[in-house]
């Protein structure tokens, strides 16, 4: 019998944690999932064209090198199917409690355990692992008149499949990665599409394609080919894309590639000017999509850059006048910098996590928070990436948490030492120095105070090294 563990969320991170616990012979865990199925963001985002811009073979667990990917870049249905397959294959489904939202986790000092409150009641656990993700809470904008709109309107991550777009006038608000993916199929269906763009993003083409029978067979049958293919992409992202974000050699070439893509795909100089960003490449999340620009050049698509004034019953009103619409899609992103704080988390001495994070969320290695014993975060503050697969980071964090379990079993509840937290804070600030995210641009990487709260500034190889095993000297133990 190991410690009892509550995992919040059954997306990539929650499932990875569950799989590793079960492999270690620990059965005393529960995965609480507020939704009706596993898959997290890949269950929620069902908009047309949804997919990932990290290659399939890299966007998967290292221990489950799925060899049957049909495309170079996976679509949402295939990623969801992969996660469901993992849940079954590793026998973790019986541990997942669906439709059960965690509303609070309160540390009971007298017991040294967590009282986890859900929509179904309260239970005690030794350990709480948050796997709530960074992109799980859709953010609707605060535009006057949104409730007065006559037609259907919904967020990209809550796609209303009953809304028929065929032959309708559609408005898409936003021009980030989600918008870029859904605009081509929406433009295809709609009679007219208005894209409301506030800030242009840098766009790189996505060299997608289906694997032909020969490639599929080779990647399926020859394990070293599959490993090599995955490894090649990993090295490319670390060796070419990472330097572009950290003031390295590839910033210029990546910018040139994005400009060449814009020139090649958008012949109209007026539209091209609208789509040309004025921030350095990588400051905001680069959009990787080949269909976005061609869709914007269609005669039945307009890119509207006049600021939105309000939503009227019949459309979207800008400073340039009313743009009529039957359907509005809000591709307006997520509340990324709140992390776990919407759940009421109360640590030692009655400290509230939301209060601790008043000036911005932070955690030692992105995983542990002082005064919150036996609470571990996956994909927590400063662990997001702008250049490679987040699954890599999640696996590092899960391995780290697994490494903590023997300590807390032997020495009682563990919490990170404030001195270790201070050292981490300094290290992070220093590493952040050369990163392009800090340049003058707005982005979801920044919290309300303008601090980069979501992203890890180093190469992922360094993060792997730092999280290889917990250092007991960084923690305080109850015994």
- Report the nearest approach of ligand NAP to the CB of residue 316 (Å): 10
Q: Determine phi and psi for 176, rounding to 5 degrees.
A: -85, -160
Q: Kindly give, in sequence order, each residue whose CB lies less than 8 Å from that of residue 332, ignoring residues fewer than 6 positions away.
A: 138, 139, 140, 141, 155, 156, 173, 174
Q: Which is nearer to ligand NAP, 285 or 371 (CB)?
A: 285
Decide: 207 and 236 in contact? Cβ < 8 Å.
no
Q: Which is nearer to ligand NAP, 332 or 397 (CB)?
A: 332
- Report the nearest approach of ligand NAP to the CB of residue 119 (Å): 27
Q: Which is nearer to ligand NAP, 405 or 453 (CB)?
A: 453
Buried b (16+ CB within 10 A) or exposed e, 272-287: beebebebbbbbbbbb
- Report the nearest approach of ligand NAP to the CB of residue 212 (Å): 24
What residues make contact with ligand NAP under the rule CB under 6 A? Answer: 52-53, 135, 141, 143, 156, 173-179, 181, 196, 198-199, 285, 288, 308, 331-334, 442, 444
- Report the nearest approach of ligand NAP to the CB of residue 123 (Å): 32
Q: Determine phi and psi for 258, rounding to 5 degrees.
A: -65, -40
Tell the burial category of 328 from Cβ atoms under 10 Å away from its Cβ (0-12, 13-18, 19+): buried
Strands 192-196, 169-173: pairing is parallel
DSSP state of 276: -
Q: Which is nearer to ligand NAP, 83 or 308 (CB)?
A: 308
Compute the distance between CA of residue 293 and CA of residue 311 in angstroms, rounded to an integer: 26
Hey, how many other C-beta atoms are within 10 angstroms of the C-beta on 172?
27
- Report the nearest approach of ligand NAP to the CB of residue 62 (Å): 19
Q: Kindly give, in sequence order, each residue whose CB lies less than 8 Å from that of residue 200, ignoring residues fewer than 6 positions away.
A: 175, 274, 275, 276, 277
Q: Which is nearer to ligand NAP, 22 or 71 (CB)?
A: 71
Compute the distance between CA of residue 337 and CA of residue 447 in angstroms, rounded to an integer: 6
- Report the nearest approach of ligand NAP to the CB of residue 49 (Å): 9
Decide: 125 and 6 in contact? Cβ < 8 Å.
yes
Q: Which is nearer to ligand NAP, 336 or 365 (CB)?
A: 336
Q: Which is nearer to ligand NAP, 138 or 347 (CB)?
A: 138
- Report the nearest approach of ligand NAP to the CB of residue 209 (Å): 16
Q: Which is nearer to ligand NAP, 178 or 388 (CB)?
A: 178
Distance of CA 150 to the CA centre of its chain: 32
- Report the nearest approach of ligand NAP to the CB of residue 336 (Å): 8
Q: Which is nearer to ligand NAP, 116 or 275 (CB)?
A: 275
- Report the nearest approach of ligand NAP to the CB of residue 328 (Å): 11
Write 118-122 long-range contacts (CB < 8 A, 24+): 118/32
Distance of CA 343 to the CA centre of its chain: 18
């Amino acid at each position: 019998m190991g410690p009892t563990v509550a995992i919040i969320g059954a997306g990539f991170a929650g499932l990875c944690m569950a799989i590793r616990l079960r492999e270690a012979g620990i059965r005393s865990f529960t995965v609480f999932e507020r939704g009706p199925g596993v898959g997290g963001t890949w269950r929620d985002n069902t908009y047309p064209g949804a997919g990932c811009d990290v290659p399939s073979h890299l966007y998967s667990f290292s221990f489950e090198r799925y060899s049957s990917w049909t495309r170079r870049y996976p679509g949402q249905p295939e990623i969801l199917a992969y996660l469901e397959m993992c849940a079954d294959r590793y026998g973790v489904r019986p541990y997942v409690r669906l439709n059960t939202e965690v509303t609070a986790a309160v540390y009971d000092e007298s017991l040294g355990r967590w009282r986890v409150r859900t929509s179904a009641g309260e239970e005690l656990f030794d350990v709480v692992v948050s796997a709530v993700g960074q992109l799980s809470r859709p953010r609707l904008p605060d535009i006057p008149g949104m409730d007065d709109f006559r037609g259907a309107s919904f967020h990209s991550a809550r796609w209303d499949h009953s809304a028929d777009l065929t032959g309708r006038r559609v408005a898409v608000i936003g021009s980030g990665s989600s918008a870029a993916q859904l605009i081509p199929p929406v433009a295809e269906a709609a009679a007219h599409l208005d894209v409301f763009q506030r800030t242009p993003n840098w766009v790189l083409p996505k060299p997608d394609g289906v694997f032909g029978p020969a490639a599929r067979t080779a990647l399926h049958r020859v394990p070293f080919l599959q490993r090599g293919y995955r490894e090649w992409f990993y090295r490319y992202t670390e060796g070419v894309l990472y330097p572009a974000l950290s003031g390295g050699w590839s910033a210029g070439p990546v910018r040139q590639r994005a400009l060449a893509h814009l020139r090649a795909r958008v012949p109209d100089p007026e539209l091209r000017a609208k789509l040309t960003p004025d921030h350095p490449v990588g400051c905001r999340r680069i959009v990787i999509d080949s269909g976005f620009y061609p869709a914007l050049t269609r005669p039945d698509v307009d890119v509207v850059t006049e600021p939105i004034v309000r939503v009227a019953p019949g459309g979207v009103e800008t400073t340039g006048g009313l743009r009529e619409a039957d359907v509005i899609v809000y591709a307006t992103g997520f509340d990324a910098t709140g992390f776990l704080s919407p759940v009421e988390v109360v640590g030692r001495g009655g400290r509230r996590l939301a209060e601790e994070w008043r000036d911005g969320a932070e955690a030692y290695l992105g995983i542990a928070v002082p005064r919150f014993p036996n609470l571990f975060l996956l994909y927590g503050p400063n662990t997001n990436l702008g250049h490679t697969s987040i699954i890599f980071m999640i696996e590092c964090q899960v391995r780290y948490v697994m490494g903590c379990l023997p300590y807390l079993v032997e020495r009682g509840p563990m919490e990170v030492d404030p001195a270790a937290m201070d050292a981490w804070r300094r290290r992070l600030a220093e590493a952040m120095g050369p990163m392009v995210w800090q340049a003058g641009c707005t982005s979801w990487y920044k919290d309300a105070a303008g601090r980069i709260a979501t992203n890890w500034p180093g190469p992922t190889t360094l993060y792997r090294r730092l999280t290889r095993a917990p250092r007991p000297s960084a923690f305080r133990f109850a015994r």
